[in-house]
Amino acid sequence: MGSLTAFSEIITKKTNIPTKSVENVSTPIVIEAVRKSILPEMTLPKLVKEIKSANPYIGRMVSGDIKNKVDILAPKIILTTCISGKGAAVKIAQLLRNALPFMDEYNVKIRPVDITEKSNLDNILDEDEMSNLVAVVGTVDLHIQEVPFNPIDELIIGDGIRKLEKSISGLDNYYERVKLSEENMFIKILEEMLTFLDPVKAYNIVNESYLAIIKLQGVDNTTQLKNRFILHSCCMIERLIRDEILPYKNVDKLIKKEVSLYKKIKFSLIDIEESFGITIPDTEIGYIIDMFDIQQHTDCCEL
């Protein structure tokens, strides 16, 4: 604010501590700056650049044209999904809460769901909630009539956040977003979702495993498959570090059916196991088999 922007130079001269100042700071930006500053790979110039460019999940509110929130009675519902059930769906819900800070103001509720429940949505939502369902977000489309599906890909490289903002608030461009590369955007999303893993390290190692699998299996390298695999695997690593293993019904039967794919995936996950000191059980590999099996069938259908 005003002449206070010169304080960084004064502090540096008096203390010999490298210091930078940033204008127009809000409480969320301060919290984000503190969080980013403890990342191992963060530098002061990089931190200043990221804060100045405005984190895409903080955003800058556009003045005016905000509807009267007092009129909102029934909550709007967003469902989040993932291929392994509620695991990554919970993380996606957390991501959305950070990406859309006005959710509480518009009485929006987020429900992570298990994809095994998709054929029985009546047990998940009552009639009123179904009528207020505004979107499904994640890696699995529940194919609910007149309810848009926003794949995780669009949140990373597309305009999925803007579409959700418009669905919720009725306004377009409610928040400004900074255009970033696909890789940088994904790393920023992982920063929001991961609790204690280094997002850059996790992204790079998991991406190498992904590239190894598609090469061995001979499937197309699609953005959707890549994003699903990296998102699922990073969440899986954190689960296994905490000794939380997802169950998979009849995994032995699946492995016998897909023994070739199983061996390729298991081999490609060795670097992940060694890098993070974990052992990936067959139940977790089962979900990855499903992921690549679905992609392979999609490729065959397109042919």
> Between the CA of residue 119 and those of 132, 141, 144, 187, 200, what are the distances in Å?
19, 12, 10, 33, 37
Contact 87, 115 (CB under 8 A): no
Question: What's 194-302's CATH class?
Answer: mainly alpha
What tens-digit pLDDT sequence spans the chain (303 residues)? 455 667 788 888 889 898 988 877 778 788 888 888 887 778 898 888 888 775 444 444 333 333 444 444 567 888 888 776 666 778 788 777 776 766 776 778 888 887 655 455 656 666 666 778 888 888 878 888 888 888 877 766 556 777 777 777 665 544 444 444 567 777 877 887 788 788 889 999 999 999 999 999 888 888 888 888 998 899 899 989 988 888 888 999 999 999 999 999 999 999 999 999 999 999 999 999 988 876 555 554 444
DSSP state of 137: E
- The two tokens of residue 260 are 């070739």
Phi, psi of 150 (to 5 degrees): -115, 100
Question: At the topology level of CATH, where does 69-169 sit?
Answer: Rossmann fold (3.40.50)
Spatial distance between the Cα atoms of 195 and 216, rounded to a whole number of angstroms:
31
CA 95 to chain centre: 6
Dihedral angle, C-alpha 263, 190, 92, 152, nearest 10 °: -70
Whole-structure pTM value? 0.53
Q: What is the DSSP string of 60-129?
A: -BPPS----GGG--SPEEEEEE-TTSSHHHHHHHHHHHHH-TTTTTTTEEEEE--GGGGGGGGGTS-HHH
- The two tokens of residue 198 are 């280094």
| Long-range contacts at 153-156 (CB < 8 A, ≥ 24 apart) | 153/223, 153/224, 153/227, 155/95, 155/99, 155/189, 156/182, 156/185, 156/186, 156/189, 156/227
> Between the CA of residue 21 and those of 41, 44, 45, what are the distances in Å?
20, 11, 11
Domain ranges within the chain, ordered by starting residue: 2-52, 69-169, 194-302
Spatial distance between the Cα atoms of 158 and 135, rounded to a whole number of angstroms:
16
